[in-house]
Amino acid sequence: MKSQTAVEWLVNELENHHIKIDIKNTVAYQFAKAMEKQQIIDAYIAASPKLEDITKEAAEQYYNETFL
């Protein structure tokens, strides 16, 4: 089971409350998803006890495996 990000949670809440906005096709949604992805990657790198062992590619792989 993949984890749900905060942006995805918000979209689901709007849909559950029958708010009729095609938010996934907005620039704001795409920007929020990109910001959120970068924050998760940065946190993954920062949380590593051996920073030299964690590359941006490894952090991005973690994001893809966990959230996509």
pLDDT at 60: 93
Range 41-57 burial, b when 16+ CB lie within 10 A, else e: beebeeeeeeeeebeee
The pTM score is 0.77
Q: What is the pLDDT of residues 13-67, one digit of tens each?
A: 988 998 778 888 899 999 999 999 999 999 988 887 766 667 888 899 999 999 9
**Domain locations in the chain as residue ranges:** 6-67
For 7, 20, 21, 43, the CA distances from 65, given in Å and listed in that order, are 17, 30, 28, 15
